[in-house]
Chains A and B, each alone.
Chain A
Amino acid sequence: MFPKPIEKQSAGAQFAYKSLLPVALLFWLAPLLAVALFSIKPDADFTAGNYWGVPSSFEGFTNYGQVFFNSDMPQYLLNSFMITIPTVIGAVALSSMTGFALGVYKFRSNIWIFFLFVAGNFVPFQILMVPVRDLTLSLGLYDTKAGLVLFHIAFQTGFCTLFMRNFIRALPYELIEAARVEGVSEIRIFWYVVLPLMKPALAALSVLIFTFIWNDYFWAIVLTQGPDSQPVTAGITSFNAQFRAAYHMMSAGSIVAALPPVAMFFLMQKHFIAGLTLGAVK
């Protein structure tokens, strides 16, 4: 078996593994720990150069209080939900249908249409920046949540279709044939036969897309501006004053902004891992 289980290694190797693991873990988590530490520090600590030391006073309540009650953060968080949830629903709904069509029906250009969806994933999205910005502007969707949602749905559907099509391909085709023999219409086959079987894929994909969209920063700053439409990832910098960057407030804001996807991950861990490995292991 590869890799060799740690219990079967020599005592020395086991000891080294067990003692180095926490060190490596701390090392990897250092940036996150720094953000957590910064979020309870007073502003003065940064000017005094006290970056890593003990906070000179505990300002956790003040900083987080500011985030929730004296800033646009609640609005930004709400925007994030209002962008992420419709995108998840839209992308998953569309891709279950495209996945069904491409997975079940055999028609001539099937594979080429499928490649079109897949190819979308290989386009570096940075090169789309200017055209997409101009497009949303001329559609009157610039700086609106709807514009961001529509673009995300369009862009995410490519990946989702790949995922769904492969999942549907793996379903026993006999079920669909049996339903056809019974004279069930195609749309009802999709709704009553295929969709219930897709539940694990739907859950996994939803979790995955939720974190993708929630963490999107690039399109948030390209397509929106200001607290009326920007999601939280872009809104964090609004803590900066005209002259000064408020590191303590940005840290507190980042922690708050990171909570929903982290909570999502821990609550739906099973689906998340299933989503990442689905189709990878036969």
Chain B
Amino acid sequence: MLSKMKTTAAAAAVASAFAVPASAELTGDLTIFLDTSNPAPRATMEAMIGRFGEKHPGLNIETTVIDREAYKTQIRNFLTADAPDVATWYAANRMRPYVEAGLFEDVSDLYAEPAMAEGLASTKGALTIDDKQWGVAYTYYQWGVYYRKDIFAELGLSEPTTWEEEKANCGKIVASGRACYTIGTKYLWTAGGWFDYLNMRTNGFDFHMDLAAGKVSWEDDRVKQTFMNWKELIDMGGFIADHQTYSWQEALPFMVKGEAAAYLMGNFAVAPLREAGLTDDQLDFYQFVKINPDVALSEDAPTDTFHIPANAKNKEAAREFLRFATSAEEQTIINNGKNLGQLPVNAGSSVDDDKFLQQGFKMLSTNSTGGVAQFWDRDAPAEMAKVSMEGFQEFMVKPDQLDKILSKLERARGRIYK
């Protein structure tokens, strides 16, 4: 189940013998639990922990890497029974149960420090519950519309910024015999991405979060307006046929073959598209268009986080580790193209040269004033997310069933939130 790695460098021990013990010298054990079980992220994290260990030779660091899926069930156990000093998790609603159960340490004091207050402003909201912060982010990635630049050029289209332009573009793409958007809704969450954007653009970030928190009725006219906007794209044949039978990966070939022109997806879609032979001249990115001009733009940017369990034994060292992991320098290293290939959370970090990461970082830091959402299945409670995403999928296949679907979701809301 667990694989262990001890990082007590002999060289570091020698170095510490000569060093003058500073007052901030950390000692004791530091246990870190990671869910970054895939080879590349795992190596990145272990290297980062190695660098932290070199800085604090008096510290005996033990790292445990747990399979990402297994971690999701084991966290309940280890936070109560045998808590590590640092544990990875996810922001927003996904951390809420543990915050409310008093299992995560309040780290608001870290955000009060000037360096953190300035550097981590962009993800502070995602880690705030009841005006307190419960952890730090270490990586995130943007969502947006990835499109075939060459197809746009062939049809004489440009990147849209308004809903009218988006629909006009889509009309021309459909007329050329292609679908505007590829999507695979077999595992539901991809439809959640569309709902996130359409609802945030139609009704704004705060309304979207209220809906996720169960404070608004699903039969509200504003929610209906979101679905009406969605229906316009569905009715004009904007989405590929039979999308309910594909996974998100199985929907990629439509984009590669040029049968669909765009994909609303997270930045992780870029790597397979490039591997399949699309060059940066063929592939580009634009921010999801404005729908309601009165609404500030907000984005989906799922965030991975570090937390200190309330039962941790070495909280002082854990805090130092959180400072280290979010420092501008470390953030630059772990998020570069050779490592995680995602966005750094510290405003002082530099972003990898990759054109998509550059655009994403710019978008999130300058053009997402409404707020940053985590993604529908992280913002809404798990049960509601499941029921609602099934509803989204059904709606995409049978848009005329909208009223029935919404009343089903409304009933689910009454049952789930209480």
Asked if B13 is at the interface of the complex by the 8 Å CB criterion, the answer is no
Chain B residues with Cβ under 8 A from A245's Cβ?
A: 247, 249
Asked if B66 is at the interface of the complex by the 8 Å CB criterion, the answer is yes
A226 adjacent to B67 (CB under 8 Å): yes
For residue B41, give the distance in angstroms from its CB to the closest CB of chain A: 7
Asked if A238 is at the interface of the complex by the 8 Å CB criterion, the answer is yes
A43 adjacent to B275 (CB under 8 Å): yes
Q: Tell me, in angstroms, the Cα distance from A227 to B1 when the chains sit together.
A: 5
Cross-chain contact of B1 among A47, A49, A226 (Cβ < 8 A): A226
B38 adjacent to A242 (CB under 8 Å): yes
Restricting to B228-269, which residues have a CB under 8 Å from any CB of A?
247, 249, 252-254, 256-257, 266, 268
Asked if B24 is at the interface of the complex by the 8 Å CB criterion, the answer is no
Restricting to B19-36, which residues have a CB under 8 Å from any CB of A?
none
Asked if B347 is at the interface of the complex by the 8 Å CB criterion, the answer is no
Asked if A177 is at the interface of the complex by the 8 Å CB criterion, the answer is no
Write the chain A residue with the least CB distance to B70: A225
Asked if A241 is at the interface of the complex by the 8 Å CB criterion, the answer is yes
Write the chain A residue with the least CB distance to B268: A243
Asked if B3 is at the interface of the complex by the 8 Å CB criterion, the answer is yes
Asked if B39 is at the interface of the complex by the 8 Å CB criterion, the answer is yes
Asked if B276 is at the interface of the complex by the 8 Å CB criterion, the answer is yes
B277 adjacent to A44 (CB under 8 Å): yes
> Size class of A's contact patch?
20 to 34
Chain A residues with Cβ under 8 A from B252's Cβ?
A: 47, 49
Chain B residues with Cβ under 8 A from A48's Cβ?
A: 253, 256-257, 276-277
Write the chain B residue with the least CB distance to A245: B249
Q: Tell me, in angstroms, the Cα distance from A209 to B266 when the chains sit together.
A: 46
B2 adjacent to A47 (CB under 8 Å): no
Q: Tell me, in angstroms, the Cα distance from A241 to B247 when the chains sit together.
A: 14
A228 adjacent to B2 (CB under 8 Å): yes
Chain A residues with Cβ under 8 A from B253's Cβ?
A: 46-49
Restricting to A131-154, which residues have a CB under 8 Å from any CB of B?
143
| A143-B1, A226-B1, A238-B67 known; A47 vs B257 contact (CB < 8 Å) | no
A243 adjacent to B266 (CB under 8 Å): yes
Q: Tell me, in angstroms, the Cα distance from A49 to B70 when the chains sit together.
A: 31
B249 adjacent to A47 (CB under 8 Å): yes
For residue A129, give the distance in angstroms from its CB to the closest CB of chain B: 15
For residue B278, give the distance in angstroms from its CB to the closest CB of chain A: 9
Chain B residues with Cβ under 8 A from A238's Cβ?
A: 37, 67
Asked if A199 is at the interface of the complex by the 8 Å CB criterion, the answer is no
Asked if B174 is at the interface of the complex by the 8 Å CB criterion, the answer is no
Q: Tell me, in angstroms, the Cα distance from A228 to B3 when the chains sit together.
A: 8
B70 adjacent to A44 (CB under 8 Å): no
Cross-chain contact of A47 among B37, B73, B268, B273 (Cβ < 8 A): B273
Asked if B68 is at the interface of the complex by the 8 Å CB criterion, the answer is yes
Chain B residues with Cβ under 8 A from A244's Cβ?
A: 249, 268, 272
Write the chain B residue with the least CB distance to A230: B1
Cross-chain contact of A44 among B3, B68, B276 (Cβ < 8 A): B276
Write the chain B residue with the least CB distance to A224: B1
Q: Tell me, in angstroms, the Cα distance from A49 to B277 when the chains sit together.
A: 12
Q: Mark A71-114, 1 if CB is under 8 A from B, else 0.
A: 00000000000000000000000000000000000000000000
A49 adjacent to B257 (CB under 8 Å): yes
Interface centre among A48, A143, A228 (most CB of B within 10 A): A48
| A44-B276, A242-B38 known; A227 vs B3 contact (CB < 8 Å) | yes
A226 adjacent to B256 (CB under 8 Å): no
Asked if A10 is at the interface of the complex by the 8 Å CB criterion, the answer is no
For residue B141, give the distance in angstroms from its CB to the closest CB of chain A: 10
Asked if A70 is at the interface of the complex by the 8 Å CB criterion, the answer is yes
| A242-B38, A245-B247 known; A47 vs B272 contact (CB < 8 Å) | yes
B277 adjacent to A226 (CB under 8 Å): no
B249 adjacent to A46 (CB under 8 Å): yes
Write the chain A residue with the least CB distance to B272: A47
Write the chain A residue with the least CB distance to B259: A49
Chain B residues with Cβ under 8 A from A241's Cβ?
A: 38
Chain B residues with Cβ under 8 A from A44's Cβ?
A: 272, 275-277
Asked if A157 is at the interface of the complex by the 8 Å CB criterion, the answer is no
Chain A residues with Cβ under 8 A from B277's Cβ?
A: 44, 48
Q: Mark A39-55, 1 if CB is under 8 A from B, else 0.
A: 00011101111000000
Asked if A251 is at the interface of the complex by the 8 Å CB criterion, the answer is no
Write the chain B residue with the least CB distance to A225: B70
Interface centre among A42, A44, A245 (most CB of B within 10 A): A44
Q: Mark A208-243, 1 if CB is under 8 A from B, else 0.
A: 000000000000000001111100000000100111
- A48-B257, A225-B74, A243-B266 known; 4 other A-B pairs, CB under 8 Å? A44-B276, A238-B37, A238-B67, A242-B268
What is B's interface to A at a CB cutoff of 8 Å? Answer: 1-3, 37-39, 41, 66-68, 70, 73-74, 247, 249, 252-254, 256-257, 266, 268, 272-273, 275-277
- In the A-B complex, the 7 residue pairs with the closest CB atoms: A49-B253, A226-B1, A47-B276, A44-B275, A243-B268, A48-B276, A47-B272
Please list 22 pairs of residues, one from A and one from B, whose beta carbons are closer than 8 Å in the complex, sorted by A's number. A43-B272, A46-B249, A47-B272, A47-B275, A47-B276, A48-B253, A49-B254, A49-B257, A143-B1, A225-B1, A225-B67, A225-B73, A226-B70, A227-B1, A228-B3, A229-B1, A242-B38, A242-B41, A242-B68, A243-B266, A244-B249, A245-B247
